[in-house]
A and B are shown apart, each in its own frame.
Chain A
Amino acid sequence: MFNGKKAIILGERDGVPGPAIAACMEAAGAEVIFAVTECFV
């Protein structure tokens, strides 16, 4: 689905963390160039 696409990922502490989104994006063919989890509280 994301073959040839680059992904910048912002995860959230109380939502979905960055590594989990990165794993999904890589499985869908994206190249993850940056992934981070942030805490907004």
Chain B
Amino acid sequence: MSSPIIKACAYTLFHVPSFVRYGSKPTREESNSPQPLLPLIEKHLRSFEEAVEYPPNQVFIGNLHPDRLNDIEQPWYDHLLKGASRDGVYGEIMPEEEFFGLLKLADEFDLIWFEKEYAPIFQQKLRGNPLFGKIDLGKTDKGVDMDRIQEKVAGQESLPLYHQGRVVGCFHRHHEQDDSLKAQVLMENLMAKASGALVLKHLLKRSQVSPEEIDFILSCSEEAVGDRYNRGGGSLSKAIGEMCGCVNATGCDIKAFCAAPIYAIVNAAGLVKSGVFKSVVVVGGGCLAKLGMKFKGHITNDMPILEDVLGGIAFLVTEDDGESPIIRLDSVGKHDIGSGSAQQNIMESLVSKPLDRIGKKITEVDKYGTEMHNPEVTVPSGSGNVPLNNYRMIGALAVLRKEIERGEIDRFVLQHGMPGFSPTQGHIPAAVPFLGHAIDAIKQGEMTNAMFVSKGSLFLGRMSQLSDGMSFLIEENPAKKA
């Protein structure tokens, strides 16, 4: 029986500097700080052009291979790729004005009001995007007087929306006693929906599959959609699919902290392999809460606040097309409850055990995708180089198994790893940003396989001290080899 494949991938970024203030960390710090922090934050925000020309962002949307970052001097924010395009092989980087238009398009409950001069501008900007040039944008150009916005912000817990330092609208609370429906929470949810919808549109365009052909959608976004009776029990998958015209699909959400995309892809592959569904989408929207998460380290180091972008990821899992790399379902690695939480135990569960099962050495995997966090975001705030640490751990396992010498770990990292290039958006960096590059390289005969290893911090929910994780391997389609 044939194996499921990942037919297409899409990746998008959304440059939303005006929302950095609403990231969890900036919001908390601002309310606790004796001095106003927002002017300092605004001083360190990047322009859209700077975000587009930032080398890791170009890698994320597919215009640059991750290994090329090794050739670009750091800090990368001082070595921009002049003239780089917002349009990528796998998606795009959307500017804030367009994203406002997209947010309003995603808004089914009149949660957002834009001021009457700005609403048509935002709609027009979205209309300029080729993906939205011909679709009905409804009444998204209808705005309200600034007086009404100010009234809502002053008296009814609506949050002001800013653009280039000016108030352009507001985001409403939708139930006066339900904190699951307060403005901040609904804004997080709607931003995940809107960003998920754009990346799904790119996925459908890239795969040349019509929306009607999609059977099932798994959202791996992190937001807790729901009301006071079922906080986090709701779903974004159908909301995202609805925006993209996937009228024959249903769906649900997979929750597994940062490891959710890998869980979702494995579930999607299982559904396709079993014959339950033929075309399954895995989609993840961006995470507002994580904007500006490391802003203090960035300000202290007088560098731009790099966490000014939301991410979006989408994958189409289908039956074998005889061409695309296959997902080896016998390669799935999982972090069992009894595995323990030590790093060595986790990596053995996710790397050594599954490779043993399929008779491969660690060194026989061409490239590993791990937590692909951009080190320029994390190192200045003292959080270390996450992908490098993970690659060294995999290299150390290879040493323990006597596949390489201890002195060869650095070479192993260079050969089988890559610099981190993903925004620190939780589920977004979870190994899968490398899937698009890996699939292309395998199709072009430059690689034969790649393994994707993702970890999740289960303990953050305070229900268990356990860690979490899942992995799988893709390899060249056997039909191509023949």
Q: Which A residues lie at the B interface, using CB under 8 A?
A: 13-20, 36-37, 39-41
Q: Which residues of B contact A13 (CB under 8 A)?
A: 455, 457, 467
A14 with B341: CB separation less than 8 A = no
Could you list 5 A-B pairs, sorted by A, with CB under 8 Å? A14-B386, A20-B341, A37-B457, A39-B457, A40-B383
Contact of A14 with B424 at beta-carbon distance under 8 Å, contacts A20-B341, A20-B342, A40-B378 already known: no
**B389 within 8 Å of A (CB atoms):** yes
* Measured CA separation A37–B464 after assembly (Å): 11
* Measured CA separation A14–B457 after assembly (Å): 9
A17 with B390: CB separation less than 8 A = no
B386 with A18: CB separation less than 8 A = no
* Measured CA separation A16–B341 after assembly (Å): 8
A39 with B460: CB separation less than 8 A = yes
Q: Which residues of B contact A18 (CB under 8 A)?
A: 459, 465
Closest to B457 in A: A39
Q: Which residues of A contact B424 (CB under 8 A)?
A: 41
Contact of A37 with B459 at beta-carbon distance under 8 Å, contacts A15-B343, A16-B342 already known: yes
A37 with B384: CB separation less than 8 A = no
**B475 within 8 Å of A (CB atoms):** no
* Measured CA separation A20–B465 after assembly (Å): 11
Contact of A37 with B341 at beta-carbon distance under 8 Å, contacts A13-B457, A14-B386, A17-B465 already known: yes
Apart from the given pairs A14-B343, A37-B457, A39-B460, 14 other A-B contacts in the complex at a CB distance below 8 Å:
A13-B457, A14-B390, A14-B455, A15-B389, A17-B465, A17-B467, A36-B459, A37-B465, A39-B457, A39-B459, A40-B378, A40-B382, A41-B371, A41-B429
**B373 within 8 Å of A (CB atoms):** yes
Q: Which residues of A contact B389 (CB under 8 A)?
A: 14-15
Q: Which residues of A contact B373 (CB under 8 A)?
A: 41
Q: Which residues of A contact B343 (CB under 8 A)?
A: 14-16
Closest to A19 in B: B465
* Measured CA separation A19–B390 after assembly (Å): 20
* Measured CA separation A19–B382 after assembly (Å): 22
* Measured CA separation A13–B373 after assembly (Å): 14
Contact of A17 with B386 at beta-carbon distance under 8 Å, contacts A39-B457, A40-B378, A41-B378 already known: no
**Min CB–CB distance A13 → chain B (angstroms):** 5
Closest to B378 in A: A41
* Measured CA separation A22–B394 after assembly (Å): 25
**Min CB–CB distance B203 → chain A (angstroms):** 26
* Measured CA separation A40–B424 after assembly (Å): 10
**Could you mark each residue 360-389 of chain B with 1 if its beta carbon is under 8 Å from any beta carbon of chain A, else 0?**
000000000001010000100111101001
* Measured CA separation A16–B460 after assembly (Å): 15
Q: Which residues of B contact A17 (CB under 8 A)?
A: 341-342, 459, 465, 467
* Measured CA separation A14–B386 after assembly (Å): 7
**Min CB–CB distance B344 → chain A (angstroms):** 10
Q: Tell me the B374-421 residues at the A interface (CB within 8 Å).
A: 378, 381-384, 386, 389-390
The residue in B343, B382, B386, B390 that gathers the most chain A C-beta atoms within 10 A of its C-beta is B343
Closest to A39 in B: B457
* Measured CA separation A15–B389 after assembly (Å): 9
Contact of A19 with B386 at beta-carbon distance under 8 Å, contacts A41-B371, A41-B424 already known: no
**Min CB–CB distance A27 → chain B (angstroms):** 15
5 nearest interchain CB pairs?
A: A39-B457, A40-B383, A17-B341, A37-B459, A13-B457
**Min CB–CB distance A36 → chain B (angstroms):** 8
Q: Which residues of A contact B390 (CB under 8 A)?
A: 14
Closest to A18 in B: B465
Residue in contact with B384 in the complex, picked from A14, A19, A20, A39, CB distance below 8 Å: A14
Q: Tell me the B319-356 residues at the A interface (CB within 8 Å).
A: 341-343
**Min CB–CB distance B467 → chain A (angstroms):** 7
* Measured CA separation A40–B380 after assembly (Å): 12
**Min CB–CB distance B259 → chain A (angstroms):** 11
B341 with A19: CB separation less than 8 A = yes
* Measured CA separation A18–B459 after assembly (Å): 10
**Min CB–CB distance A30 → chain B (angstroms):** 18
Q: Which residues of B contact A37 (CB under 8 A)?
A: 341, 457, 459, 465, 467
**Min CB–CB distance A35 → chain B (angstroms):** 9
